[in-house]
Amino acid sequence: MNKKTDTQVIINNKKYTISGFENTDYIQNVAAYVNNKYSQFRLSNTFNYLETDMKNVLMAINIADDYFKAKRQASELSAENDSKNNEIFDLKHELINIQSKYEASLKEIAQVKDDFTQAQKKIIRLEAENAQLKAKLDEKK
């Protein structure tokens, strides 16, 4: 497990020390996110006239809103990923079936070619026998 670290951050123009088990870069990124939220709110004239408690509640609500939107998006992406995985599984299964049919077809083609070759040999043999019989008949005449 990571050891606990203290990280200096600036949020809303105030310096804070944040302790946690995450690395310093992560804590700085979280602080930057919160600081950006404060910057967005400061652009609104009405935010500046609100009481501190109301400002903090609005910040918490907006951050919670971002969290739930991100959570919903992650859930949707996970469901889409599951759907894609199922589709890939089905396609792999279909590919295996097609490969099996292809291999069976190749075997059948090989068998048909062999049968055709045997039939050609038989035709040649029968033609030769037929020619011999004709020659014997012609000799008897």
Whole-model pTM: value is: 0.63
Rounded Cα gap, residues 115 and 107, in angstroms: 12
In sequence order, the 6+-apart residues with CB closer than 8 A to the CB of 23 are 2, 5
Would you state the structure tokens that stand for residue 115, as one six-digit string?
């049968």
pLDDT digits (tens, 9 = 90+) for 107-125: 999 999 999 999 999 999 9
pLDDT digits (tens, 9 = 90+) for 22-68: 999 999 999 999 999 989 988 888 888 899 999 999 999 999 999 99
Domain spans, the chain: 1-49, 51-116
